[in-house]
A and B are shown apart, each in its own frame.
Chain A
Amino acid sequence: MQLKSYQSKRKYDPILPGSEDWPVVQISRNRKEFIQEVSEAAISRIKELTRNKTALIEELETTLYKEKARIKENPWKVDPDDDYSFWSKVKAQLVDLSQKRNKDQEEVDELLERIVLRYATEVAGNFNPSSYRFARAVATFGFSRLLNAARLKKFGAFWRNELTLNDKIHINGEVEKLRAMAKKGTIVIVPTHSSNLDSILIGWVIYTLGLPPVIYGAGLNLFNISLIAYFMNSLGAYKVDRRKKNVIYLETLKAYSALALKKGCQSLFFPGGTRSRSGKLEKDLKLGLLGTAVEAQRINIQEDGDKAEKIFIVPVSLNYHFVLEAPSLIRQYLERKGQERYYVENDEFSSSYKILTFLFKFFTKGSDISVSIGEPMDVMGNPVDDDGYSLDPKNRRIDIKDYFISQNKVTINKQREEEYTRMLAGKITQQYSKIARVFSSHLVAFCAFEILAKRNKRLDFFSLLRLPDEDLIIQFPEFKNTCKLIREKIFERVEQEKMTVANHMLEDLDSVIEHGLHNLGMYHAKRPLIKTDDGNITTMDINLLYFYRNRLDGYGLEKYI
């Protein structure tokens, strides 16, 4: 299926004209009350999980132990100054409690409350409509200037407006449907995640499509970088600290997300959790935050019955020829695969300077990005019609309420909802592999790597990655034949609506190969694929080649090589 293309410089009207109406504005205007609400919800979640006082105290002790370890072993610049003293006080109180024979329920509750409130305040975003507009204007202005200056190469081009971001970033797919559903309910956008650029890119896409800003969980580590921190804060990010894996923190985070959704805040989760280290499309999704969408839908139904606000899940695939962090991502992946080893979170996205250099390169050299919007679904992964009703495979309407009903009543059943979340995750990954746009660069990377793999099929995976240079050369005719065959197989799958290709893939084979070789990882110091002097193909960095090859993993294409 060729997705509908919206490459024209088309402008979309905002769905909710005034920023007053944005739910995200409502939340941040009443930030204090919202944090209070989140705390209360989190506390009742935690109590439900721990059930009695002894278990709760145990949970508090585990949390304390983990937090102490975090402060000692893995401190970050963004951590608050009173981190140490806060947890010392918690410790004192817990020691105190453990010595009493009759453990006072009130005292335990108070301690839990303080911790949860601290977490909720830390997580909460600080959205501000005017700095949102400012940040966006700066970004759009800055990008356009760079683009015009670089592409038109004329004196004075810096101030021209002939090219806009629309020329650089193509948005395809179910745009109209997404806009229609945004008017009918609460949208949850779930994009693939391969680069830290994703957050900024998707923010721009959401603005371009006229959707109200989304709130999204961004890794707290990104707030270490001042430039990104500024954009994140103003774009509606809330903070997710991946170091904190204790139950109290995780439940606070879920309470935050569920409550924001309940209030109609459009949200964005990267369901893969972190950037895809291997370059593969995400298969194992993190179910925690995704589950809050299912939960919020059930709460809406419980509270408003048939008038309940509906939640729509929209998978989005972000497609690049080039991923800035690819070298370190694939290194981490291989290290993990080789053996579990501690690795440092430090990559090409680690400083403002490096990001600016990347952005400059991105806008001054030609390498396009495409964003594919998938089919909006309900929280069960069913497709929806133009009026937002859920449909079964025979296109009959389904009442979403019925999924939560047991013996005529809407009931709360955590295990049921966990299972539903797992089913939803399955539907999301199915859509990813269907809407991910295959670029020429993915094709050439896949073919080259698989030729080498087949030629050396007796080698184990790691030996394959250590092949000497002279064994890495592929004769051009062989390479071209393979590309031809694999492209045909891809087209067959496009026909069956299992894959999607970029328009440039339809050109004649020689141009597609040229285009692919030119664009594949074009800014890396060591190019994943180059032509040798005598016109054959080789790689300067087989790990990187593997990273880009992985975009076509999971379609069963390797068997044709």
Chain B
Amino acid sequence: MDMASKSTFKKPIGVIGAGSFGLSVANLLAENNRVLLYARNPQVVDEINKQKVYDGFEIDDQIEAINDMKLLAEQCDIIFPVVPSSNFREMIQTLSPYLHPYHILIHGTKGLELSLGEGKSLSDYEVLERKHIRTMSEVIRDESVVVRVGCLAGPNLAREISQKLPAATVIASHFDEVIQIGQQLLRSDRFQVYGNKDLIGVELCGVLKNIIAIASGALGGLKLGENARSLLISRGIAEIIFLGRAMGGKTQSFIGLAGIGDLVATSHSTLSRNYTVGRRLAEGEKLEDILADMKEVAEGINTVRIASKIAESFKIRAPITEALHRVLFEGTTIDEALQYLMKYPLNADVDFM
């Protein structure tokens, strides 16, 4: 097959969100297709269209930025929402009136949402039930008539993709159709696309690995070396599997490209936001100060909050998540957390297969 073949899609492809990953996805899509890129801020739209450079990313000529959700839904049958999980539901609610069952949505957001009901907070619940935790595909299903939903996950560091370095990703969906479309749209001679039917599992891969990325940053900040990092990654994947299975993912997905693949990339990437949070914590900064001067959201912080409650509610052993929770929200120091982990009574190496 000619991988760089011209697209068979007549309509433009939509992307929602002009963050670094949204821009990367738009650029990948633009190699074969016209792309409409929705940005919330009109000034950003202007800048992208006029300068053809934004936030250090070059913008492909095939990309046109717009500020109109209605237009986006009318023009595009296939849309890639890539916005932070904290804005995701609101974004879908705005888009929803214009969506029809013929739309296909493939999101690239690696976060979870808590759906607790009006005015409730996490502390109001002694135990969480599965229905309280929504993955982004579930938010799409909750808020719109779209059923053909998929997600995009894998080791896709935005900076490397913009430098056109080789990489691969996973498209997950219950629908073969969605996987095939994703492959047709994104595949190129330096970008490989794998399919997976376990939508929830693949979404959780992207979500849960952020916890380990923060921990990896902390190890980096303390300069503890590569033995320690490998220990973290291998215990991390076990923890991800236990948490992920409890929420409905399949073990196989977590040891694939979106699971281990993404975990290794993020744990080594000193530039990633989650890693940076961990590193700065280890260097003695306070969480508020770190958050105050970060431009984009570090999904991992919210994920630690949710995942530690899940571990507690579903009675899962998740020592790394628990230790991070103490550091982030309960005032424990990184050193104390490390002590806790090194003394944790673990004996089985592989107990998740």
Contact = CB atoms under 8 A, between A and B. Distances in A.
Nearest to B143: A393
Interface stretch (A51-59, A251-259, A326-334, A413-421): A413-421
B284 interface: no
Contact of A407 (B10, B97, B145, B176): B10
Interface residues of B, number: 18
B147 interface: yes
A415 B77 contact: no
B177 A413 contact: yes
A419 B175 contact: yes
Interface string B124-166: 0000000000000000001011011000000000000000000
Contact of B77 (A380, A407, A419, A420): A407
Contact of B97 (A396, A399, A405, A415): A396
A403 B77 contact: no
A109 to B, nearest CB: 29
A196 to B, nearest CB: 36
Interface in B61-102: 77, 96-97, 100-102
B9 interface: yes
Given A392-B145, A423-B147, A402 B174 contact: no
A406 B147 contact: no
A398 interface: yes
Given A396-B97, A399-B100, A406 B145 contact: no
A404 to B, nearest CB: 8
Contacts of B97: 396
Contact of B147 (A380, A407, A408, A413): A380
A359 B100 CA distance: 51
B11 interface: yes
Interface residues of A, number: 20
Contacts of A394: 96
Nearest to B173: A419
Contacts of A400: 101
Nearest to A410: B102
Contacts of B77: 407-408
A415 B176 contact: yes
B298 to A, nearest CB: 32
A402 B102 contact: yes
Contacts of B147: 380, 403, 420, 423
A415 B145 CA distance: 19
A413 B101 CA distance: 15
A405 B175 contact: no
A422 to B, nearest CB: 8
B11 A416 contact: no
Nearest to A420: B147
A406 B101 contact: no
A42 to B, nearest CB: 24
B102 A405 contact: yes
Interface in A386-445: 392-394, 396, 398-400, 402-403, 405-408, 413, 415-416, 419-420, 423
B175 A402 contact: no
Contacts of B100: 398-399, 402
Contacts of A407: 9-11, 77
Nearest to A409: B102
B175 A415 contact: yes
Given A403-B147, A407-B9, A419 B174 contact: yes
B115 to A, nearest CB: 14
Nearest to A382: B145
A403 B174 contact: no
Interface of B: 9-11, 77, 96-97, 100-102, 142, 144-145, 147-148, 174-177
Closest 8 CB pairs of A and B: A402-B101, A405-B102, A402-B102, A403-B101, A415-B176, A392-B145, A402-B100, A419-B174
29 contacts: A380-B147, A392-B144, A396-B145, A398-B100, A398-B145, A402-B101, A402-B102, A403-B101, A403-B102, A403-B147, A405-B101, A405-B102, A406-B102, A407-B9, A407-B10, A407-B11, A407-B77, A408-B77, A413-B176, A415-B175, A415-B176, A415-B177, A416-B148, A416-B175, A416-B176, A416-B177, A419-B174, A419-B175, A420-B147
Given A403-B102, A407-B77, A408-B77, 13 more contacts: A380-B147, A394-B96, A398-B101, A405-B101, A405-B102, A406-B177, A407-B9, A407-B11, A413-B176, A415-B175, A415-B177, A419-B174, A420-B147
